[in-house]
Structure 1
Amino acid sequence: MGLQAVLRMIYPPQCIGCGEMVTSDFGLCGACWRQVHFLSGLVCDTCGTALPGQDPGHAVHCDDCLAIARPWSQGRAALAYRGMGRALVLRLKHGDRQDIVRPAADWMHRAARPLLKPGMIAAPVPLHWTRLLRRRFNQSALLSAALARLAGIGHCPDLLQRIQRTGSQDGRDRDARFANLSGAIRAHPRRAARMQGRPVLLVDDVMTSGATLTASAQACLDAGASDVAVVVLARVAKDT
């Protein structure tokens, strides 16, 4: 019996959602799978949120993206931020469940395929160094590294810097969220040349108002990126 088979007998694959035994590593059981709301079909071309109706054959946009100027050109999200999708995001972000990165990156890769361009470089939304020190990892950087490998594109984990320690976005309205991030993110002085004239794919775990992605995308464009697209694991949105 091979070592892999022995290890599977000792440590059988478990569902990343509930811990029940499953047939393959990094998978979900049937019950947890049914609680994940994948964003497919007709979606907003700017943020990836699900929209009602059939594909009209051209780009469509949600009400939020029609009302708010986005500095990025296209965006996608793998999951809706509810049910098991929300649980997985919180476990990755606050529960040190880095085993979630592998399946999450696969879901994000599928969602991001329409955004991929030759010469594109992936980069995570940055954390302030004090928060990174406390959390020990940037979940968005883990996702962007795994996604870049799957997509076969370049990756720069410190392409951007968060130079201001901003307060939590929780409990703030949309305008306050954008004001809170004003001037907080810039291109890393020693990395900015890597995006000169190149498209950038920004990666984050969750999009709510888009304030953090807006600050990050604008920093990329200011540093000379030719285009910015965004992909997130989960999108917070109203039910359609």
Structure 2
Amino acid sequence: MRLLQTALTAIYPPRCLGCGDMVDSDFGLCGVCWGKTAFVGGTVCDSCSTPLPGSAQDEVVHCDACLRAPKPWKHGRAALIYTGMGRKLVLQLKHGDRQEIAKPAAGWMQQAVAGMAADNALIAPVPLHWMRLVKRRYNQSALIATHLSAMTGHEVCADLLERPRRTPSLDGKTKGERADILDGAIRVTPRRRHRIVNRPVILVDDVMTTGATLAACAEACRAAGATEVCVAVLARVAKDA
């Protein structure tokens, strides 16, 4: 087995996820790409993971936007800021058929979500409409969720949520327009409803912009009987990104 692994490494040497240069191990970033990746750290909003000034330790803080309009979930965490290499990786995973990015993405998210939810929390990805899933061939959020489940020990239910109708892109839409578009667009899959009754849920997505889609998912979970909902995303669009 070791000889086979050595032979495969010689034929297919590990490549940087960002630029393709050779690196020491699989699913890694070279020094240059690592420097271009903005990992979330320091003081962040407990709801949406937006970076905040100051150095609050062991203190729950929220950004002004979440104070004005609280999110329908308990905690929200992001691994990266959606800029530079973080943005590139999200787009490659989402639209470039770079499914191998899902595993390291889950690894970066693992530390961010550590201790965020109870041990019996159920991981669920944000769903795609079936027409979009057929076109893309995979749900990038489901790929991340599956790897995150393996790393954290939390059970995963890839089809907990569904989109009974297709919705247009939310890009450029106002808060009210997004709410109207998503009204009734996401629900708990009827045959999976029993999985979340009296149980916490961790919603997983690739990127959070305004949080409208995640809010629709969280509200659907709460309406179906989830005790609480937390959110974990690979990247967060920050106001200063």
TM range (shorter): over 0.9
Q: 1:110 to 1:56 in 2, by over 3 A?
A: closer
| Structure 1 unaligned regions, length at least 5 | none
Taking structure 1 as the reference length, the TM-score comes to: 0.97
Is it true that 1:54 corresponds to 2:49 in the alignment?
Answer: no
Q: Give the residue type in structure 1 aligned to 2:127.
A: P
**C-alpha displacement at 1:228, in angstroms?**
0.3
What's the TM-score, normalizing by structure 2?
A: 0.97
Letter of the structure 2 residue corresponding to residue 4 of structure 1:
Q
Q: How many residues align?
A: 240
Q: Which residue of 1 aligns with 2:31?
A: 30
| TM alignment of 1:187-198, pairs within 5 A | 187-198=188-199
TM-superposed deviation, 1:207: 0.5
Distance in 1 (alpha carbons) for counterparts of 2:152 and 2:184: 31
Kindly report structure 1 stretches of 4+ aligned residues shifted beyond 2 Å.
none
1:145–1:157: 8 Å Cα contact kept in structure 2? yes
Deviation of 1:56 (Å)? 4.5
Matched residue, 1:150: 151
Residue by residue over 1:147-168, the C-alpha shift from the partner in whole angstroms, topping out at 9 and shown as x without a partner, is 0110101100000111121001
Match for residue 95 of structure 1? 96
Q: Deviations over 1:158-181 (max 9, x none)?
A: 001111210011121233222221
Match of 2:227 in 1: 226
Partner of 1:17 in structure 2?
18
Q: Which residue is equivalent to 2:44?
A: 43
Q: Which range is displaced more, 170-179 or 154-163?
A: 170-179
Q: Deviations over 1:117-161 (max 9, x none)?
A: 121100001111111111111000001111011010110000011
Residue pairs, 1:1-240, within 5 angstroms? 2-239=3-240
Give the AA of the match of 1:17.
Answer: G
Cα deviation, 1:42-61, whole Å, max 9, x if unaligned, reads: 11100112111101432001
* 194-203 or 170-179, larger mean C-alpha shift: 170-179
Per-residue Cα deviation, 1:183-215 (whole angstroms, up to 9, x for no partner)? 111110000100000000000001001000000
Q: 1:34–1:113: structure 2 CA closer, same or farther, 3 Å change rule?
A: same
3-state SS, counterpart of residue 207 of structure 2: strand
For 1:115, what is the secondary structure of its paired residue?
Answer: coil
Name the SS of the counterpart of 1:2 in structure 2: helix
Q: Please tell me whether the aligned partners of residues 177 and 209 of structure 1 are also in contact (alpha carbons under 8 angstroms).
A: no
